[in-house]
Amino acid sequence: MNAGLLTPATERFLKGAAGVLVLVALWQASVPLVGLEPYFYPSPADVWHAFVELMEKGILPVYLVDSLYRYLLGVGLGIVLGIAAGLLIGLSATASRILTPLINFLFAIVEVAWIPIFVIWFGYGFKTILIALVYVVLFPLLYNTLLGVRTVPQVYVNAARSLGATRLQLIKDVILPAALPNIITGLRVGAGFAFRGLIFAEIIAAKTGIGYLIFEGASTQQTARTIVGMIVMGLLWLFLDRCYLKPIERVTIERWGQVTTAEDRE
Amino acid sequence: MTTTQTTDTKIRLDAVRLEYVKEEGRSRHLAVESISLDIRDKEFLVVVGPSGCGKSTLISAIAGFLKPTGGHITMDGREITRPGADRGVVFQEYALLPWKRVIDNVALGLKFKGVPKAERYATARRFLAITNLADAEQKFPHELSGGMKQRAAVARTLANAPEVMLMDEPFAAVDAQTRMTLQEELVRVWEQARLTVLFVTHSVEEAVFLGDRVVVLTPGPGRIKSIVDVSIPRARRNWQEMNQDPEFIRLRDEVLVQVRGQPVAA
Ligand SMILES: Nc1ncnc2c1ncn2[C@@H]1O[C@H](COP(=O)(O)OP(=O)(O)OP(=O)(O)O)[C@@H](O)[C@H]1O
Ligand SMILES: [Mg+2]
């Protein structure tokens, strides 16, 4: 539409921003119509004040850093363990026979069910949240890595072996890259699960963090704070998705021709 | 029919029987019944036979992907038990790794051997030049045409300096003109590289054009039907001359009779 004036990226951003502005305007307009107490239905202005207050007192930055730290560490550990376990089970028949029933059994016990017992073992706070996150990330990484390893085209393996690859070289240069699209799928799923898991774990088992802010705001009738927490949560996910997940996908899968999106090509 | 061992035998097949065994159903599929054959050092041997007669199976066995269920395969007198860099394979499906650029695909075998990067790129570039792919070195396989992929696959195998090159219908998937060019290029490249080649095809013309000897297999399960010597000098092996070469026409018809059981007008 604005051909020549704006880059496609700017145009996309402006359209997205317009949607948000309309939503906020509708919200503000609805406050007098609803006519309820601010703690029951706070206005955008109330939320803005709460945000400023949380920033000035230094609460929000600390919570944000805490949440981000727990998230990145939990996801990072979960990714490493999940890929390692997926490779082990995918490449060793013995490991597969021993571990598969156990893994399937554990998969059925959702992390929410573990949190109370983690709290008993590790107390409230960092350790419990970290373990819960690792647990959540582990399974999608493991299952997708396994799927990737098991579906590596045999001809690639044969080609590498007749070029003289050792077992380690085979894993590094053939099996891992061939499984990468699946691993990235696992990473996306795991990253999303972990984000929900983080907020949930912080509600139950933390005294800081975005999840705690959301829960604490509501239980002390500072509803505007809860909404600040929810908005930050949404923004945080957008940020992670944009700056971390999307680029990984782009440099790997799209470049090999598995996915070709015309607008993203160099 | 059975050749006797000479001093210059490179690979010896001794009453080789190849079966696909299905673990669960305990059913077996006989692909190659009994083949005895000596592949001479530095010769260009072509195996021709109808679809399903066990040509690919035979290549797999010599490459070391598949164990014979009877008989022995030896190279320089030693039993072949696993794939190795001494036997390079050019697959019908190319088997280029889609996540590596052309140059990295061609340099892959040297990387496995631990050759330093600058050196292996220099070697790879030499073989890319020989196979007319100098301009494509930075491309990914999905950006190449079928003929270019096939040349890249040949370059990858040759760059690894195998003693034997096993080629499984490498030109079957390209158009007729490209195929003729590739065949002429292969003749030229082979004269420079001077290694033992086992080339499998179902095209009689291709077999006689390329081979020093042509082995005709029976319809599956494969056995050797006959072996035809092709003594046309290498200097005449281009399509312009070969098309009118009475010797070529005679041998082609002879092999055609062996393959199909009846002569076809030239
Ligand atoms: N993995 C497999 N499992 C079971 N049977 C197989 C397998 N691969 C091939 N066969 C069978 O073995 C026989 C020989 O197959 P092969 O692929 O070696 O034939 P080919 O001569 O290479 O044929 P083409 O010219 O079509 O490539 C065929 O009957 C085929 O059905
Ligand atoms: Mg075949």
| Nearest-angstrom CA–CA distance, A156 and A178 | 9
Centre a 10 Å sphere on the Cβ of residue A65 and count the other Cβ atoms it contains: 12
Mean pLDDT of B46-67: 93
Task: Supply the pLDDT for residue A67.
Answer: 92
- B262 and B190: one domain? yes
Q: Of the ranges A152-161, B5-14, B136-145, B233-242, which one carries the lowest mean pLDDT score?
A: B5-14
The size of the A-B interface in CB pairs under 8 A is 70
User: Residues B239, B186: one domain?
Assistant: yes
Count of the separate structural domains present in chain B = 2
The three-class DSSP label of residue B149 is helix
Task: Confirm if A9 and A26 have CB atoms less than 8 A apart.
Answer: no
Q: Is the pLDDT of residue A5 over 80?
A: no
A156 chain-B contacts, CB cut-off 8 A: 95, 97
Q: Which of B82, B87, B83, B126 is nearest to B103 (CA)?
A: B126
Whether the pLDDT of residue A252 is over 80: the answer is: no
Residue A206 in contact with residue A129, Cβ under 8 Å?
A: yes
Tell me the nearest-neighbour CA distance from B3 into chain A, angstroms. 27
Residues forming a β-bridge with B72: B14
Question: Up-side HSE of residue B185: CA atoms within 13 Å toward CB?
Answer: 22
What's the pLDDT at A257?
59
Cross-chain CB nearest to A155 (options B83, B85, B91)? B91
- Amino acid found at B210: L
Kindly list the residues from chain B whose CB atom is less than 8 angstroms away from the CB atom of residue A176.
none
- Identify which of B60, B140, B156 has the shortest CB distance to residue A256: B140
CA distances from B81 to A237, B14, B59, B91, B157 (A): 53, 15, 14, 20, 20
Looking at the structure, tell me whether residues B173 and B151 fall in a common domain.
no
Instruction: Report the alpha-carbon distance of residue A51 to residue B68 in Å, rounded.
Output: 74
Q: Give the pair of three-digit tokens for residue B205.
A: 């013309």
What pLDDT was estimated at residue B194?
Answer: 86
Pocket test for ligand 1, best of B20, B201, B215 (most atoms within 8 A of CB): B20
CA distance A183 to A142: 8
Best A161, A163, A256 member to test B by mutation, with max B CBs in 10 Å, is: A163
Output the residue whose Cα is nearest ligand 1's atom 30.
B52
Residue A179 identity: A
Strands (E), A52-153: none
Ligand 1 neighbours, Cβ below 6 Å, are: B 20, 29, 31, 49, 51-57, 202, 220
Give the whole-angstrom CA distance, residue B249 versus residue A246. Answer: 60
Taking a C-beta distance cutoff of 8 angstroms, is the pair A162, B87 a contact? yes
Nearest-atom number in ligand 1 for the CA of B57 is 18
Do B248 and B116 lie in a common domain? no
Between CA A181 and CA A258 the distance in angstroms is: 9
Whether residue B3 is found in the same domain as residue B119: no
Residue B215 identity (one-letter amino acid): V
User: A171 near A91, Cβ under 8 Å?
Assistant: yes
Ligand 1 geometric centre to CA of B214 (Å): 20
**Distance (Å, rounded) from C-alpha B261 to C-alpha A136?**
66
CB B206 within 8 A of CB B49: no
Which of B63, B79, B95, B70 has its CA nearest to residue B166? B63
In sequence order, the β-bridge partners of residue B21 are B28
Position B7 confidence tier, pLDDT thresholds 50, 70, 90: low
Give the pLDDT band (50/70/90) at residue A31: confident
Judged against a pLDDT cut of 60, whether residue A52 lies above it is answered with yes
Ligand nearest to the CA of B55: 1
Task: Return the half-sphere exposure (C-beta side, CA atoms, 13 A cut-off) of residue B48.
Answer: 29
pLDDT at residue A166, rounded to an integer: 94
Q: What is the CATH number of the domain that holds B17?
A: 3.40.50.300
Q: What mean pLDDT is predicted for residues A46-61?
A: 91
pLDDT reading at B1 higher than 80: no
Same-domain check for residues B172 and B244: yes
Out of B161, B180, B202, a domain closes at B161
Residues B202 and B191 in one domain: yes
Same domain, residue pair B66 and B108? no
Whole-number Å distance between alpha carbons of A43 and B67: 75
For residue B82, is pLDDT > 90? yes
> Is B14's pLDDT higher than 90?
yes
**H helical segments located in B70-213:** 102-106, 108-112, 117-130, 146-159, 176-193, 204-210
Peptide bond into B221 cis (omega under 30): yes
Range of the domain at B49: 1-86+163-266
For B105, the closest chain A residue by CA position comes to: A160
B18: Cβ–Cβ under 8 A, 6 or more apart, which residues? B30, B31, B32, B54, B57, B58, B61, B66, B68, B69
Counting Cα atoms < 13 Å in the Cβ hemisphere of B180 gives: 8
User: In this structure, are B171 and B117 located in the same domain?
Assistant: no
Q: Which pLDDT score is estimated for B2?
A: 45
Residue of chain B with shortest Cα separation from A160: B109
Same domain, B256 and B129: no
Each residue of B55-93: b (16+ CB within 10 Å) or e?
bbbbbbbbbbbbebbebebebeeeebeebbbbbbbbbbe
CA angle centred on A79, ends A77 and A82, rounded to 5°: 105
Calculate the average pLDDT of chain B.
Answer: 90
Strands B164-168 and B87-90: parallel
Tally the C-alpha atoms within 13 A of residue A192's C-alpha that lie toward its C-beta: 6
Task: Look at residues B161, B177, B206 and tell me which one is the last residue of a structural domain.
Answer: B161
**CA-atom Rg of chain B in angstroms:** 18
Question: Do residues B226 and B143 both lie within one domain?
Answer: no
How far is B223 from B217, CA to CA, in rounded Å?
A: 5
Q: In the numeric block, which tokens belong to residue A65?
A: 């850093």
Kindly state whether residues B169 and B259 are assigned to the same domain.
Answer: yes
Residue A70 to residues A84, A202, B132: CA-CA distances in angstroms?
21, 10, 54
pLDDT in tens, A92-129: 888 888 888 888 888 888 877 888 888 889 888 889 99
Judged by DSSP in three states, A2 sits in: coil
Do the bridges between strand B196-201 and strand B44-48 make them parallel or antiparallel, or are there none, so unpaired? Answer: parallel
Q: Do residue B112 and residue A160 have CB atoms under 8 angstroms apart?
A: yes
A250 vs B243, higher pLDDT: B243
What pTM did the predictor assign?
Answer: 0.81
Q: From CA B50, how far away is CA B260, in angstroms rounded?
A: 9
- Residue A265 pLDDT exceeds 80: no
Q: Nearest by CB to A257, which of B65, B82, B142? A: B142
Q: How confident is the model over B111-123, as a mean pLDDT?
A: 95
* A249–chain B nearest CA distance, Å: 13
Cis peptide before A101 (omega within 30 of 0): no
> What is the rounded CA–CA span in Å between residue B214 and residue B196?
14
Domain final position from B112, B140, B161: B161
The answer to whether the complex's ipTM is over 0.90 is no
